[in-house]
A and B are shown apart, each in its own frame.
Chain A
Amino acid sequence: MLLIKNGRVLDPASGTDAAMDVLLDAGRVAKIAPEISAPSAEVLDARGWIVAPGFIDLHCHLREPGDENSETIATGARAAVRGGFTAVCCMPNTQPVNDNASVTRAILERAAAADQARVWPIGAASAGSKGESLAEIAAMKQAGIVAVSDDGRPIASANLLRQVMDYCRALGLTVVDHCEDASLAAGAVMREGPTSARLGLRGMPAAAESVCVARDVQTAGLTGCPLHIAHLSARASLDLVRAAKRDGLAVTCEVTPHHFTLIDEDVRYDTRYKMNPPLGSREDRQALLNGLADGTVDAIATDHAPHELALKDVEFDRAPFGIIGFETALALALEQIVHSGRIPLMRLVELFTTGPARVLGRERRLAEGAPADLTLFSTNHAWTFHAEESASKSRNSPFDGRSFRGAPMATIVGGRVVYKR
């Protein structure tokens, strides 16, 4: 039994925002009340902290199997709980690709052994994510995938997307797409704009993303399948999602912390600023911040993409895309959208809990009887992020050395405190 005392409970599902004690027992929430006395329980003093339902990260890369030098499921899941995440959805672009049940099961076994954050695998849409034929989606669903994607790349063609969507709709799975028009984006290493022109680097226009978002939204309309746009980065894409929602389509989207914090002007030749989709323009960032506030954006997802030093320590053109993000996500969100007054704290919790859950067709709440997955965080704890101290195997973060106000303080999975700062 674990008694969390003196915290401020924020539960978007019920709208609760109150000073409450929470008692956890046998992996579930046993009681939530203003004053709980439980003499035999272990006590966790959450004075000054927010007590929220466990955070979900819809988008990350755990690299195992295939690139264990950069990350393993164990190290990734550990980094995740240090970021306050109780569950993470890992993308299928491993080696081999997670396009069949046995890889899915292997991932789940590793995750269980690590016993840190829950790992909810996302299965490939096409075999090998090659964009030619469908993957064994039904078998993977049985094995435990929570959604389908060819992330790393877009789903290759409108026709394939349609087929995948028809199939997934019947199976009750959301299709997640990495929206990128391959021809517009070919060879690009950052966003096309004045900065790419000055640096002499090849850029991709925002349209590389929005052209594909448009395709996907139309196809979602055709099939009625829930569509989730991964790592949305451009204003034009957001406008398309907003319009789709207005039209009643089941379209959702996520935004990463680096996209609402940094812009293309921040890129010099430092590969820690190289990711896909690339950092957008000033206007894009502003639009994303607005979308986070007005509800167009459903979730914050990290797109945690570890790469070992040797891979990233090369000239800009040759570096792989991606940065780590578990451990800085909450702090960046607090800095950029809560401390700045843009959104209320409850909305922030939504973006990390009910928002992502809804995308997967689930619920997430802090209520009696619910699974005891909780995230406890402070909105003003002062700390500095040092990439060297990350639990991830990789160090590729542009936020190395950045000071923050606010951090995850304790992460509870299945009633057990898996992380305490």
Chain B
Amino acid sequence: MRVIEKSQLMSATEIDRTLQRLAHEIVEKSGGTTNLALIGIRRRGVPLAERVARAMRGIDGVEVPVGTLDITLYRDDLSKVAPQPVLQSSDIPFSVDDKDLILVDDVLYTGRTVRAAMNGLFDLGRPRTIRLCVLIDRGHRELPIEASFTGRTVQTSDTEIIEVRLEEVDEEERVMLVERVD
């Protein structure tokens, strides 16, 4: 099975600008940042969450704690036996009780990842609220889940894939639309 690149959706500059904008939106719509915390969903949600936190620091001087969440243990796709699942550890160095959490991920698609993330968060305690921030929403939801903060909405077909490539992980910075070719 092969994939071919179709088009570039966002350049490095566009990604940066979007994250800045999202950071502003979050600060605006949160009515205060005291209880706020960002949780990046592994893998690419993590650098995104860190960048949003950095941007927020730039806005208000505000320090919002960032945690990372590995959702492998909370997946529900029992039918799909992938190659060896590999666990990364979650690292949330603060209590989630009564916090207003912002889940951060690169792409929102079926919603299953976010559901798994919420399961993981509720295993840790009782957050006050959970909202979702994503760089790209590509539609095709299978669960009643929506993002409160969206970078860009893109229409896609089932054979297409959105690849978010970030410096920290992929050593390049852009968002690509690629297509699966059998």
**In their complex, do chains A and B touch, with some C-beta pair under 8 Å?**
no
